[in-house]
Amino acid sequence: MVLQNVGRINSSVFDRNGFGSITTLQLNGSGVTEISENAFLSGLQLRSLSLDRNLLSEMNTNWFRDPASLDTLSLAGNQIEVVDATALHGLTNLKQLRLNNNRIRTIHPTVSPPWSR
């Protein structure tokens, strides 16, 4: 399946049957501009999510029902400028975080990756 010009991923996109067993989701270069709170809510057991080369301006753990299940999150090549204090909140099993090729100018001083604790 190829998705282009997706725009906003809202909270009902993955509410349909057949998505519960997905552990890896790649939406690279799909034109994603925004992700609603709880968009990845519907029983997905995501361990790896790649949203490279989209138009996202923020990262937000409110996208997930269970952010602790993620061990890989890639947001490379987006337009993220700020990594705020809650950016990694709940990502307790995260082993890989890719934020290269963004426009990051500020990382809140309290942000620390889970693997450094």
What distance in Å separates the CA atoms of residue 18 and residue 14, rounded to the nearest whole number?
9
pLDDT of residue 99: 94
Is pTM beyond 0.85 here? no
In DSSP terms, 106 is beta-bridged to 82
Dihedrals phi, psi of 80, to nearest 5 degrees: -70, 130
pLDDT of residue 48: 92
Q: pLDDT of 17-53, one tens digit each?
A: 556 678 888 999 999 999 988 887 655 678 899 999 9
Q: What is the mean pLDDT of the chain?
A: 82
Please report where in the chains the tokens 């100018």 appear, as a residue: 105
**Mean pLDDT, residues 63-74 taken together:** 85
Q: pLDDT of 94-106, one tens digit each?
A: 999 999 999 999 8
What distance in Å separates the CA atoms of residue 66 and residue 45, rounded to the nearest whole number?
8
Chain Cα centroid distance, residue 35: 8
**What residues have CB less than 8 Å from 73, skipping those under 6 apart?**
48, 49, 59, 91, 94, 96, 97, 98
What single DSSP character describes residue 78?
S
Domains and CATH numbers, the chain: 1-117 (3.80.10.10)
CA dihedral 93, 17, 13, 2 (to 10 degrees): 90
